[in-house]
Structure 1
Amino acid sequence: MQARRPLPALTALLFLCLLLSSGAQENPTKPRVQVDPLNPMILSSSSVVLNCSTDCVTSPAIGLETSLEALEESRGTNWKVWRLSNVTSDNSPLCYVNCPGKGQGSSRTNIMVYEPPKNLELNLETSQEQSSLPWIPVGQNITLSCHVAGGRPRKNLRVVLLRGAQEISREPAPDTLTTAVVKFQVTASREDDEASFSCHAELNLQSKGLKLYQESSAPLKFYTYDLKKLQPKLVTPMILETGTKKQVSCAMDNVFPVEKAHIQLSWGGQRLIEDNITRHGDMLRVTATIMATEEDMGDRELTCSVTLGNEIRRISENLTVYTFLQPVLMVSGPVQEGYRVNLTCKAHPPATVLIEGAPSDEPDRISLIAQEEDNGRSFTCQATLKLREEIFHKNSSLTLNVKFPPKLDEKCSPNRTWDEGTEQILQCTARGNPAPTVTCVREQQMPVNGGNQQMPFNVSTRVVRSYSGTYNCTAKNSLGVASQVVSVFVK
């Protein structure tokens, strides 16, 4: 900037008008002083050239009072020019003149310093470690602080919070000597998840003949999540028999963002391998298969946990693993006619047993004297297990095999009368266990009426007269013998 030098050719009237228009002192008894430029606005850390002039023509003494570094650059009869360097803040230098015979006059100019905004930084005020994106629950109030260096004069500075290109809030900057910090209060929403927030500074000096200075911060992102104050829903059997498989599942609704949520099932402290994890809308669901072994007997805790952001939702239920074997129905003593037979039934505790037909005071045993009619008789034992309000039954059956000696039945009648030439069967049957063998043998006699011929046993045959006679029919098994004499008379 070049200092203004007074022009000697100007008329006194013109000079006087110039002084009056530039803010010179109005007291005509004192020397008039002009400072040019008046109230300049300069860039911070730059320099400005001030020209002090006066209407005093009798060897005036011209000086400049300022805290700034001032270097005189040139002078004339009634003017001086100074360069003020490295101006970093507003200042009001005073130009004064001592005029012989008129005394002292002065004039002050106000230097305004401007500085475009720079080094903008947007921060999320949180106590979390921010080595990764922080998690903010939906609905929580958060503070975003924008730090702005420069941006002076601050009364002309506005700081804008942006989400993408959308303006969220616009605030004036505080008038501080250091970095300006503008804080924005925001309620976290689903739309804020991984959105790009930034702050934008605008220093508007257009009214000062300058321009609109703008600067933006780097984008800031964070996660928002919505995990309602609800528990997951666990679908599981309450009891599980060893050696069997069951599928369990867990689901939770209103999870946002569902793709970032983690769900798992654990049983007895061990994580289950998931069969499937599904995400649909805001619903999260996991399924897994449990295989129960004897080592798992008793109550074991099945837990479902959903983790999102900084929160965990968890639900646990006890699953009872049990063993329920078939009851064992046993018989003791010789199972033979006339002997006492004892039947007992046993089951693995805590199951209880009942033999059908057993007395109420001894439901697990029956005692009887074996008879022929008991052979093939079936007995059933039912085991009952009660677990967590559920009742289970298992049955075992046993059929008695009663041993008894042979017993000839009514078909072995002692007298048979047949007509000669008819078709007849010489037959005897017997009961017994083991099954007896039955034979009918003709007793040796003197031949009568043409012979002493043996009639075939158990075979249909034409009767001849020589079949007449006495036959000894015998049934045998390992327990005894039964006999019957049969007389055959042929007419």
Structure 2
Amino acid sequence: MAPSSPRPALPALLVLLGALFPVLEAQVHLALGDQRLNPTVTYGNDSFSAKASVSVTAEDEGTQRLTCAVILGNQSRETLQTVTIYSFPAPNVILTKPEVSEGTEVTVKCEAHPRAKVTLNGVPAQPVGPRVQLLLKATPEDNGRSFSCSATLEVAGQLIHKNQTRELRVLYGPRLDERDCPGNWTWPENSQQTPMCQASGNPLPELKCLKDGTFPLPVGESVTVTRDLEGTYLCRARSTQGEVTRKVTVNVLSPRYEIVIITVVAAAVIMGTAGLSTYLYNRQRKIRKYRLQQAQKGTPMKPNTQATPP
């Protein structure tokens, strides 16, 4: 049960008793410490339940005695229980600013109940206590990063956990790199292609790719490649955080150009084969000439096999 300003606490005290007759004549008295309560009683055949809401403040925090007394005829019964009243609001995550520009120093604080143990994104307070903070320099990778503060309080031997999370938004300028916007495309004429160029940034930048300042590249659209598509385009990504440009070149291969490439490759293969054949022929001719000269001089030829020892 949590104390608060002087207003009824939402939790209520509930007492159940059975095997009473005549149950309607039973008188019920409830008290929390020295505070007399006004219960609402619900009767059954031989039992009843009594429920009462309690108004508590921070001064009532701690262990209180709950007394339930029942009087029926000349008989009375009384039972005692203990109730622990505590205050444990959720921890508070504080950002220097929830939205900052890239490169800004950001302080993230986590504050909780004075007796609670807190951690911020898994980092405990040093020394263990109700407050911890992180310092960082905002980068684009921190955009959308969540900071979670967890607080743990021990109440009457039980651990109670509460959490709060806040998100950081980082504003950064446009980016155009090779991965998201290739700088060179080579496509066959009359083929179906989709030019892809995407800029990143926060806020998301506006992207335009133009050739000669007027002819647009149909980014993200499926198009039939024509000679008109060939050329160098200037892609410009712009946002409130700045702008960046990148050149993109489109090369179009005509069918005639492909035939020329095939012809050149075939000629190279034929010439290579002819050259190899000529080399082998000349080598064999030189070997035969050498052997003939050695035979005319009477110089014995060296045997190819090793002599057998006596």
Q: Which bracket does the TM-score occupy, shorter chain normalised? A: 0.5 to 0.7
For 2:176, which of 408, 422, 425 is the aligned residue?
Answer: 408
Determine whether 1:392 maps to 2:160.
Answer: yes
Cα distance change on mapping 1:293 and 1:354 into 2, 3 Å: farther
Change (3 A) 1:467 1:318: same
CA RMSD, aligned part only? 3.3
Alignment correspondent of 1:343: 108
- Matched to 2:206, the amino acid is T
The aligned counterpart of 2:208 is: 439
Q: Does 1:481 align with 2:237?
A: no
Q: Secondary structure at the match of 1:244?
A: strand
The structure-2 alpha-carbon separation of the partners of 1:429 and 1:259, relative to structure 1 and needing over 3 Å to count, comes to: closer
Do structure 1's residue 273 and structure 2's residue 39 form an aligned pair?
yes
Shift of 1:311: 8.1
Stretches of structure 1 lacking an aligned partner (at least 5 in a row): 1-238, 445-451
1:429 aligns with 2:198: yes
Amino acid in structure 2 at the alignment position of 1:385? L
2:164 match: secondary structure: strand
In the alignment, is residue 326 of structure 1 matched against residue 90 of structure 2? yes
Deviation at residue 457 of structure 1 after TM alignment: 3.5
Cα deviation, residue 474, structure 1: 0.9
Choose 291-300 or 377-386, whichever is displaced more.
291-300
Query: Measured at CA, do residues 485 and 272 of structure 1 come closer, stay the same or move farther in structure 2, by a change above 3 Å?
Result: same
Deviation, 1:323, is 3.5
> C-alpha separation between the residues in 2 aligned to 1:443 and 1:332?
46
The alpha-carbon distance between structure 1 residues 287 and 359, as it changes in their structure 2 partners (threshold 3 A), is closer
The CA distance in 2 between the partners of 1:457 and 1:309, in whole Å, is 91
Q: Is the 8 A contact 1:247 1:287 kept in 2?
A: no
Q: TM-score, normalised by structure 1?
A: 0.43
Higher helix share: 2
Counterpart in 2 of 1:364? 132
Aligned partners of 1:277 and 1:458: how far apart in 2? 73
Structure 2 counterparts to residues 192-211 of structure 1, below 5 A: none
Distance 2:95 2:125 in 1: 19
- Verify the 8 A CA contact 2:150 2:164 in the aligned structure 1: yes
How far did 1:301 drift? 3.6
Which is worse superposed, 347-356 or 239-248? 239-248
Whole-Å separation in 2 of the counterparts to 1:260 and 1:434 = 73
- The residue that corresponds to 1:298 in the other structure is 61
Deviation at 1:260, TM superposition (A): 7.3
Which has more radius of gyration?
1
Give the deviation of 1:264 after TM superposition: 2.0
Distance in structure 2 (CA, Å) of the matches to 1:455 and 1:274: 77
Gaps of 5+ in 2: 254-310
* Gap change, CA 1:303 and 1:483, over 3 Å in 2: same
In structure 2, relative to structure 1, the CA distance for the partners of 1:359 and 1:311 (3 Å cut) is closer
Higher relative contact order, chain-length normalized (CA < 8 Å, sep 6+)? 2
Kindly provide the CA deviation profile for residues 164-206 of structure 1, in whole angstroms up to 9, marking residues without a partner as x. xxxxxxxxxxxxxxxxxxxxxxxxxxxxxxxxxxxxxxxxxxx
Identity %: 32
CA distance in 2, matches of 1:271, 1:315: 15
1:460 aligns with: 222
C-alpha displacement at 1:399, in angstroms? 2.3
Change (3 A) 1:405 1:261: closer
Aligned residues: 241
SS in 2 for 1:421: coil
1:301-312, aligned counterparts within 5 Å? 301-307=65-71
For residues 381 and 292 of structure 1, do their structure 2 counterparts lie closer, same or farther at Cα, with a shift above 3 Å needed? farther
Q: What amino acid maps onto 2:67 in structure 1?
A: T
